[in-house]
Structure 1
Amino acid sequence: MTRMWPPGGGTRRPLAPRVAASGEPVDPARIGQRVVRRRAKGMDVSAVAAALEEARFDARQDSRHEHLADDDRGRAELAEWERLHQLLAAAAPGTVYDPDADDVVQAELAAEAAAAATREAELREAARIAARADELQALRELGTLEQAEPREGDEAVRDELTRRAGGYVQGDVDAWLA
């Protein structure tokens, strides 16, 4: 088998420059898993075994370099190749890897969707609180705060107004809310 120079040039590919979406943390291990899954799509057990050997070679090479020794992405790629090899070795002969049929991938996608929905709900709630705080602040400045009716969730709005005031508890807002 012919090796590429530098060693491991075939397993790990450089990432295209990418800007993370706002609030999305960059996780090198997660990136490594996704790269492996994309590469492995359509591979049979022998092709995955060859890729696993390349990943093991890369890991041995990386362990010799201090700046690569703590490479989360490399470890995650190796672990994913090992998992896929075990998955296909236990499957019927001739089975090829399909991420759409991989229970682990589907569980991760479901968890990511649930987390995204939770983040979206939190953002909507924070926007609602900020808008209500703006409304109450405007009424306060007009001197008509007492005429407004408190709503469910205004305790969070009070906390937002207090935060905006630098921690100063505003007596008129407290009296209105009570």
Structure 2
Amino acid sequence: MTTSWPPQRTARRPLAPRVATPREPVDPARIGRRVVRRRAKGMDAGAVAAALEDARFDARQDSRHEDLANDVRGPAELAEWERIAQLLADAAPGTVYDLDTDDVVQAELDAAAAAVREAELREAARIAARADEVQALCELGTLEQTEPRTGDEAVRDWWRYRIGTTRISAAR
């Protein structure tokens, strides 16, 4: 059996275009604080004090390296260890660190949830405004001449929902 060389090219389907989704920018300091909190979970004051000493040692070692001069994660980790050590020093003896009882962590979680709610409200307002615009274009008879915009799928879904609920309430 003989085969031709080079192998025959077959018709390939083009790859689907990748759609880049917007991503949250990376914050090394936030990552460092989260790592420290995960490691500290369940530690008592003595274990946190030992981890704080290790973090101080690492900070001294890092200060000797020029490439780590602009690093914000190391100092953020050290500050978080210091904060947790102070939190446990002020607490009753035998208390262990828990994320659920840390007021700073809970405030950050509340702020993140509020930001998500705000983004959802902004998106709903944008969809409603575009739906009103589409309705005005429809009433003017110029909808067919209008170029669709990115996100008009959500407007169509909104209209379908609105028309469906209108029909349901009219049938009652």
TM bin, normalised by shorter chain, reads: 0.5 to 0.7
Shift of 1:23: 4.8
Shift of 1:143: 4.8
Shift of 1:36: 0.6
Task: Provide the rounded CA distance (Å) in 2 between the counterparts of 1:25 and 1:129.
Answer: 29
Task: Provide the rounded CA distance (Å) in 2 between the counterparts of 1:53 and 1:91.
Answer: 20
Matches within 5 A, 1:77-92: 77-92=77-92
- Hey, what does 2:60 align to over in structure 1? 60
Shift of 1:134: 3.4
- Hey, what does 2:4 align to over in structure 1? none
Structure 2: stretches of 5+ with no match in the other structure:
1-20, 144-172
Shift of 1:129: 2.0
Please identify, of 128-137 and 24-33, the stretch whose mean Cα deviation from structure 2 is larger. Answer: 128-137
Bigger radius of gyration, 1 or 2? Answer: 2
3-state SS, counterpart of residue 96 of structure 2: coil
Matches within 5 A, 1:20-169: 22-140=22-140, 142-143=141-142
Amino acid of the residue matched to residue 132 of structure 2? R
- Hey, what does 1:162 align to over in structure 2? none
- Alignment CA distance shift 1:139-1:96 (3 Å): same
Task: Provide the rounded CA distance (Å) in 2 between the counterparts of 1:40 and 1:106.
Answer: 16
Deviation string 1:106-158 (CA, Å, 9 cap, x unpaired) is 11111111121111111221222233333434444x259xxxxxxxxxxxxxx
- Hey, what does 1:150 align to over in structure 2? none
Residue identity over aligned pairs, in percent, reads 64
3-state SS, counterpart of residue 94 of structure 2: coil
- Hey, what does 1:167 align to over in structure 2? none
Task: Provide the rounded CA distance (Å) in 1 between the counterparts of 2:87 and 2:142.
Answer: 68
Task: Provide the rounded CA distance (Å) in 1 between the counterparts of 2:142 and 2:26.
Answer: 47
Structure 1: stretches of 5+ with no match in the other structure:
1-20, 145-178
- Alignment CA distance shift 1:107-1:135 (3 Å): same
Tell me which stretches of 4 or more aligned residues in structure 1 moved more than 4 Å.
none
3-state SS, counterpart of residue 70 of structure 2: coil
Amino acid of the residue matched to residue 93 of structure 2? P
